[in-house]
Structure 1
């Protein structure tokens, strides 16, 4: 599972998908639930982005 999550295509998917969900959640779901969904998905998206940047600095693919 760790090798799957550390692959570059999966990180790009996590970044983009969660970023789109984080942007759309407050408009689709009302109230606190929409806000908390946006924050949670935003955190996952930021984590994937940081993983992509770290992988680029250390020399690329680990898969």
Structure 2
């Protein structure tokens, strides 16, 4: 399972999907729940993005 989650296509999907939800959630739900969802998804997106950035040097 770890090999699947750390593959580049899955990391790109997680990064882009979580970033999209993080941007859209506060616009769709204008309450504390929408803002909290946006923050949580932004943190998940940053995690996937940092994994992509760290793996960049190893694959070159």
TM-score, length of structure 1 as denominator length: 0.89
CA distance in structure 1 between the partners assigned to 2:59 and 2:23 by the alignment: 31
Higher relative contact order (Cα pairs below 8 Å, separated by 6+ residues): 1
Structure 2 stretches of 5 or more lacking a match?
none
Aligned residue pairs, count: 60
Instruction: Find runs of 4+ consecutive structure 1 residues off by over 4 angstroms.
Output: none
Tell me the residue number matched to 1:33: 33
TM-score, length of structure 2 as denominator length: 0.94
CA RMSD of aligned residues (A): 1.0
Q: As a proportion of its length, which structure holds more helix?
A: 2
